[in-house]
Structure 1
């Protein structure tokens, strides 16, 4: 039987909800979300629970305006707090922090923000200027409010995960960042709150992203160029998919070495618009043919 988590809407309610856990010196796990929760989010909560055992699992539900550009989908981003609380209850979450914008940014847009550096200007950062400044700033603020020992993020937003890890290391924030595997629908589409924007035809076409990544993984033994060619061939079969980028990088998102030795780890990343909806996905690769 699921237990209703404590709902905190203010900083004071959050602190009060966590005080007993802190007094007992339990480790705190944190899963930041923007709501519209699905099985992918639920899997993050399970990873968080495994990380802290009987300690508290905190989930935030906050649509962060600072990470949306002027022509992005802030106003239509799904807000489903009642259903989100049910998901959290089913996963044994202890506290849901669902603040208003004014609670997170009481003085309006903050004057001091977290700049993502060069890694924030490529891939998603090139297409969405300022996006990662907004992401890192709100994550830093939420870390300061929740003060977690462990924070869990999905690998679907791989560039975001990489930047958060770099922020935690560079700013000595003392939070263990766990990257949980991407959860997928039975046909391979990466789970995302934005999938709800797709109509039936677009939903079928969107699977081309994961097909392309699997094709790249299968061709990776031949090297990065054959892997990219295999992925492009899959994407080219669906005319309604407008590709923003398709790249293969090092796992840290840096450029691949000039010489690929067998067994070189890499990451394939893709972003595309399907109809009016922008989707992203990624997958690990092993480049170069290895001896069996």
Structure 2
């Protein structure tokens, strides 16, 4: 059984521990999470352990990235279980601040990233990426890691973080971890807990439909036709609403022309089933 995993709740405690590791000449890795951990998160911890001697994992359900009608209050929280899983995965420290530690009275600064935040989830969830960019900037400056690992499931988020780190000269390497999936291809997500037994098989169709679409794109079919067919397929499969299925440039998520793709691209989708919003993406 792994030893108890230390949990700190203040920035001062976090920085003191990281400073001690630095004095010992150890590289520090960081994995930010909102808790309710699953194998996808744990795979990011293992990836961080390949690149650093010490790994910090944060658990903070960030209120500023949730819209007024989203699931902040209902978002799953299971800190004791999360800490146990992280100890088994080999993490060295959990940073689990409260909202007052992250956003003290009078807090009035936000980080806004232009361009890459505007389409896709930026359009579907106004204000979301300002909340993400602000909290990630704070976490990176609080921890000061050598390397931070984020999942590719949230591909647009990953590109936003890469941009803000570059633009603000934050001295950290950003690594994207491959999406962990269930046997039927469904991307692992804390929100999958919302799916009913009837909805779960339908949810697995999201990845299957994207895989079909990506294959058609690789064979040279026009972007516009593939996108339209994927939206239709999701609706026919039982998704009640499709926010988007779009093919975008892999780096800056710029819109591509309607014809065949000619450069590295990503197909990204967001769709609702029941009360659950699912996202996924694939390289093309």
TM-score range, shorter chain: over 0.9
Aligned residue pair count: 281
Tell me how far apart the structure 2 counterparts of residues 261 and 34 of structure 1 sit (CA, whole Å): 35
- Aligned partner of 1:282 in structure 2 is 281
1:231 Cα offset (Å): 2.6
Tell me how far apart the structure 2 counterparts of residues 65 and 89 of structure 1 sit (CA, whole Å): 26
Aligned with residue 57 of structure 2, among 45, 55, 59: 59
Q: State the secondary structure of the residue aligned to 2:211.
A: helix
Counterpart mapping for 1:108-127 below 5 A: 108=106, 110-127=107-124
Q: State the secondary structure of the residue aligned to 2:41.
A: helix
| Maintained 8 Å contact 1:123/1:245 | yes
| Maintained 8 Å contact 1:28/1:58 | yes
Unaligned residue ranges in structure 1 (runs of 5+):
286-292
Aligned with residue 140 of structure 2, among 140, 143, 154: 143
| Maintained 8 Å contact 1:212/1:232 | no
| Maintained 8 Å contact 2:224/2:258 | no
Q: CA RMSD in A?
A: 1.6
Q: State the secondary structure of the residue aligned to 1:199.
A: coil
Unaligned residue ranges in structure 2 (runs of 5+):
none
1:260 Cα offset (Å): 4.4
Q: State the secondary structure of the residue aligned to 1:21.
A: helix
Tell me how far apart the structure 1 counterparts of residues 228 and 220 of structure 2 sit (CA, whole Å): 11
Counterpart mapping for 1:152-231 below 5 A: 152-220=149-217, 221-223=219-221, 224-231=223-230
Q: State the secondary structure of the residue aligned to 1:120.
A: coil
Q: State the secondary structure of the residue aligned to 2:77.
A: coil
- Aligned partner of 1:76 in structure 2 is 74
| Maintained 8 Å contact 1:216/1:231 | yes
1:107 Cα offset (Å): 2.2
Aligned with residue 91 of structure 2, among 87, 90, 93: 93
Tell me how far apart the structure 2 counterparts of residues 125 and 237 of structure 1 sit (CA, whole Å): 26
1:139 Cα offset (Å): 0.4
Tell me how far apart the structure 2 counterparts of residues 240 and 157 of structure 1 sit (CA, whole Å): 20
- Aligned partner of 2:16 in structure 1 is 16
Q: State the secondary structure of the residue aligned to 2:236.
A: coil
User: What's the TM-score once normalised by structure 2's chain length?
Assistant: 0.94
Per-residue deviation, residues 263-288 of structure 1 (Å, max 9, x unmatched):
x3210000011101111100001xxx
Aligned pair in 2 of structure 1 residues 259, 186: CA closer, same or farther (>3 Å)? closer
| Maintained 8 Å contact 1:5/1:95 | yes
1:88 Cα offset (Å): 0.5
